[in-house]
């Protein structure tokens, strides 16, 4: 039995070695996608095109607008002279946000009353709008605290009173600078691994069936489960190589810290690879041609990415979709890989995710193997 399996392993590695394009497709696209996601995928927003309208024309209003002008989050593109002009900048797409300071702004501040700042945002891109509103709130809060201190120092009543302030001592664990690349890059490892392994497994077996060599192999003394082991183990090793390649590139290029145990990451990656192999094998039993396999991959992988928590928080999804995420192996692998990279947690914390991956791999491999047997009949 072992001799027959080894011969299939040798066959697969020889085919892979002779296919120069496959070697490049294994390395080059993975590195390029890592670089693209590392630089392009981010929750941070810079240089938000902003229109400003100052109807108060006081030192206070100019100081507040200067805080926005000197902040890298906003880029003043239009200095409007009227309310319709500020609104037109958003309607025409020239600005994403508009800041309007109405007349009497400074007078209300001097009286100790609430002075409104009107903020208009283009909600077409809701994510950018929400992030921009968060930055506006931070800048306005800082301005208000500073103005309160200055006002107390200028007035006689204020000099006789002690100014009370609440100071926020913010400590961000595991990602001190809140760098979104530290969140995305480890996730890219899981995404690329799943895509590569599912494609390799599905297309390789379908290709054997399409050209007629699968039937020729099956008439030999080799058993179906031996063929499955011989066909999938090389892809497992290829996937493991890609995990290490992308992980090392992320650490060296983007300076993502790896503070966990390589053994824990290797164990979690192995369980995830088994799940990915099972998905590819299942697709191969359902498809007769490579075109069908390609369409099936697209149908399967897109929901897997969406329901994994890679970019969209699972807690924000409808309850039905949240339940569906429990059968998604990428969901658990993202927890494992981010936990080992950034938190340095071990098996005592990650064992539920490991157990879930093992269960999913066992169930999918069983279904795929039974389905493969049936497809040969």
Distance from C-alpha of 340 to C-alpha of 266, rounded to nearest angstrom: 10
Residues 6 or more apart in contact with residue 89 via CB below 8 angstroms: 51, 77, 78, 80, 95, 98
CB atoms within 10 A of CB 319: 7
Domain residue extents for the chain: 2-41+177-376, 48-159
How is residue 192 written in tokens?
Answer: 């690329």
What does the pLDDT look like over 182-225, one tens digit per residue?
Answer: 888 888 888 888 988 888 888 777 777 776 666 666 666 667 66
CATH topology of domain 48-159: abc type-2 transporter like fold (3.40.1710)
Categorize the per-residue pLDDT at 352 as very low, low, confident or very high, splitting at 50, 70 and 90: very high
Question: pTM of the prediction?
Answer: 0.78
Query: Residue 164, SS3?
Result: coil
Whether 101 contacts 55, CB under 8 Å? yes
CA neighbor of 121 nearest in space, from 141, 97, 137: 97
Question: Distance of alpha carbon 299 from its chain centroid, rounded?
Answer: 20
Distance from C-alpha of 197 to C-alpha of 232, rounded to nearest angstrom: 9
Report the relative pairing of strands 118-121 and 97-101 from DSSP bridges: antiparallel
Among 178-182, 232-236, 249-253, name the most confident range.
Answer: 249-253
What does the pLDDT look like over 217-232, one tens digit per residue?
Answer: 666 666 766 777 777 7
Q: What are the CA-CA distances from residue 126 to residues 97, 116, 122, 123, 169 (Å)?
A: 12, 23, 8, 5, 29
What does the pLDDT look like over 63-90, one tens digit per residue?
Answer: 999 999 888 889 999 999 999 999 999 9
Q: What are the CA-CA distances from residue 315 to residues 43, 186, 234, 307 (Å)?
A: 17, 20, 37, 11
């Amino acid at each position: 039995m072992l001799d027959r399996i080894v011969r299939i392993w040798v066959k697969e590695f020889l085919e892979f070695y002779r296919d120069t394009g496959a070697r490049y497709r294994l390395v080059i696209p993975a590195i390029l996608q890592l670089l693209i996601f590392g630089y392009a995928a981010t929750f941070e927003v810079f240089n938000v095109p902003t229109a400003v309208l100052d109807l108060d024309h006081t030192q206070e209003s100019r100081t507040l607008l200067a805080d926005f002008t000197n902040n890298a989050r906003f880029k003043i593109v239009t200095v409007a002279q009227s309310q319709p002009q500020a609104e037109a900048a958003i309607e025409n797409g020239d600005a994403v946000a508009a800041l309007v300071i109405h007349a009497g702004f400074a007078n209300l501040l001097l009286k100790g009353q609430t002075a409104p700042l009107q903020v208009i945002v283009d909600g077409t891109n809701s994510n950018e709008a929400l992030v921009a509103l968060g930055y506006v709130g931070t800048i306005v809060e800082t301005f208000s605290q500073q103005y309160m201190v200055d006002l107390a120092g200028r007035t006689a009543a204020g000099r006789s009173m002690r100014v009370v302030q609440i100071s926020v001592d913010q400590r961000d664990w595991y990602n001190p600078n809140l760098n979104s690349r530290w969140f995305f890059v480890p996730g890219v490892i899981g995404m690329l691994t799943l895509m590569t392994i599912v494609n390799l497994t599905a297309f390789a077996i379908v290709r054997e069936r399409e050209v007629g060599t699968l039937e020729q192999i099956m008439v030999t003394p080799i058993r179906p489960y031996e063929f499955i082991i011989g066909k999938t183990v090389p892809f497992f090793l290829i996937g493991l190589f890609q995990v290490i390649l992308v992980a090392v590139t992320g650490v060296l290029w983007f300076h993502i810290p790896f503070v966990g145990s390589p053994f824990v990451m290797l164990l979690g990656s192995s369980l995830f690879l088994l799940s990915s192999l099972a998905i590819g094998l299942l697709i191969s039993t359902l498809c007769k041609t490579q075109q069908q396999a390609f369409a099936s991959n697209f149908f399967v992988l897109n929901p897997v990415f969406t329901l994994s928590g890679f970019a969209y928080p699972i807690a924000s999804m409808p309850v039905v979709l949240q339940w569906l995420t429990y059968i998604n192996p990428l969901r658990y692998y993202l927890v494992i890989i981010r936990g080992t990279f950034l938190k340095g947690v071990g098996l005592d914390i990650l064992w539920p995710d490991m157990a879930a991956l093992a269960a999913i791999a066992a169930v999918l491999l069983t279904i795929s193997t039974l389905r493969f047997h049936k497809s040969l009949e």
